[in-house]
């Protein structure tokens, strides 16, 4: 299935998406996957999102890559599915749209859409990174859970005239948007694992911020921007950073590059290439409580790295939340499992 003409890439057999997921993303996904009956709730919510209609729309209005149409991109999809050991190679459509964007859509048969704005912006190896990023979304199941966010956003608009109802939904949506942003950090890692080209990953992220004039940009200077943004000025800047994230589905480009660079430098990327990663057959045994603690600790660790005075005040809160949240999720998970066993035995 793989066609890797330029160099051999390491195939990550049976890799679990937990290997590359950001702790905050992984904790949410482990919790969702553990909930019996959640799929049925999701199916009802996803009635607001017609996957069949969307596929037909892209089939009619875009170009589906294949051996005869955009054959190089078709090879990138197959390669990413091979390297990340995805069972089925997803469809990919090229859409005429000047805005640079790519997305994974759907729940039963997720597929990928890449705009011409993004396709024309990137060189072949950068395209490979972006395709791997989207395949990572599919492997993690993000396409499924993002559908819920879209449904809730639509519902929030419908009840906007009810103040309390809207406030409650906005709180849920804000939490989902935070998860959405962390899922992007996860899949930047997946894109790097699929492409196994750190320079191409950096170039792609820089181009998303500054456009095609790569000769005028410098990755070290771009990382210095991230450090300056991280330092901020005073507490007011910390508050403004949080406000700037409202409604944002993606982290800012300098943050994405900084986070990916940190993940590579701390050795996580190389350990996975060396074969040290969780396998899918161990996913069922993942602890919700442990992942909740990991998520809270990841925030604490990132705040320990920051020089932002406002975010620095949240460190102790995150530390206590790590233990409290983990115990809470352990308790909820155990009750849910016990309820499932009682129902399985016919008890009501």
Q: Would you list the domain boundaries of the chain? A: 17-286
In angstroms, the CA 212 to CA 121 distance is: 6
- Are 117 and 41 within 8 A, CB to CB? no
> What pLDDT is recorded for position 177?
73
Q: Is 101 helix (H, G, I), strand (E, B) or coil?
A: coil
In angstroms, the CA 99 to CA 32 distance is: 32
Per DSSP (E only), the strands in the chain are 63-64, 92-95, 102-105, 111-115
Tokens matching residue 284: 């069922």
- Beta strand 102-105 with 63-64 is unpaired
**Element (H or E) spanning 185, and its range?**
helix 163-195
Tokens matching residue 212: 């095609």
Q: How far is CA 141 from the centre of its chain?
A: 9
Which residues, given as ranges, of the chain have pLDDT below 50?
1-5, 48, 303, 310, 313-333, 335-337, 346, 348
This prediction's pTM: 0.76
**In angstroms, what is the C-alpha Rg of the chain?**
21
In angstroms, the CA 202 to CA 179 distance is: 23
Tokens matching residue 65: 């890559």
- Are 84 and 12 within 8 A, CB to CB? yes
Buried b (16+ CB within 10 A) or exposed e, 229-264: bbebeeeeebeebeeebeeeeebbbbbbbbbbbebb
Nearest Cα to Cα of residue 41 among 152, 116, 131: 152
> What pLDDT is recorded for position 329?
43
């Amino acid at each position: 299935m793989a066609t890797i003409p330029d160099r051999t890439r390491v195939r990550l057999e049976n890799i679990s998406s937990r290997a590359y997921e950001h702790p905050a993303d992984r904790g949410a996904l482990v919790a969702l996957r553990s909930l019996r009956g959640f799929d049925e709730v999701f199916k009802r919510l996803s009635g607001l999102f017609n996957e069949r209609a969307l596929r037909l729309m892209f089939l009619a209005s875009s170009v589906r890559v294949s051996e005869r149409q955009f054959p190089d991109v078709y090879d990138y999809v197959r390669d990413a599915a091979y390297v990340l050991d995805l069972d089925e190679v997803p469809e990919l459509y090229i859409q005429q749209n000047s805005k640079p964007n790519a997305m994974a859509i759907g729940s039963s048969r997720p597929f990928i859409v890449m705009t011409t704005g993004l396709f024309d912006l990137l060189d072949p190896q950068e395209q490979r990174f972006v395709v791997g990023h989207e395949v990572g979304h599919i492997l993690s199941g993000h396409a499924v859970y993002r559908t819920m966010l879209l449904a809730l956003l639509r519902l929030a608009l419908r009840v906007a005239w009810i103040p309390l109802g809207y406030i409650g939904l906005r709180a849920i949506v804000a939490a989902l948007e935070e998860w959405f942003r962390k899922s992007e950090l996860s899949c930047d890692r997946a894109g790097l694992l699929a492409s196994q080209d750190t320079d191409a990953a950096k170039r792609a992220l820089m181009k998303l911020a500054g456009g095609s004039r790569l000769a005028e940009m410098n990755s070290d200077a771009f990382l210095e921007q991230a450090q300056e943004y991280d330092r901020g000025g005073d507490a007011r800047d910390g508050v403004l950073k949080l406000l700037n994230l409202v409604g944002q589905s993606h982290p800012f480009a300098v943050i994405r590059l900084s986070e990916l660079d940190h993940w590579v430098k701390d050795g996580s990327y190389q350990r996975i290439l060396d074969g040290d990663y969780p396998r899918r057959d161990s996913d069922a045994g993942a602890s919700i409580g442990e992942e909740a603690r990991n998520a809270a600790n990841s925030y604490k660790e990132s705040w320990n790295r920051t020089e932002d005075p406002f975010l620095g005040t949240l460190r102790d809160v995150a530390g206590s939340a790590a233990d409290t949240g983990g115990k809470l999720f352990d308790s909820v998970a155990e009750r849910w499992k016990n309820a499932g066993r009682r129902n399985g035995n016919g008890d009501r």
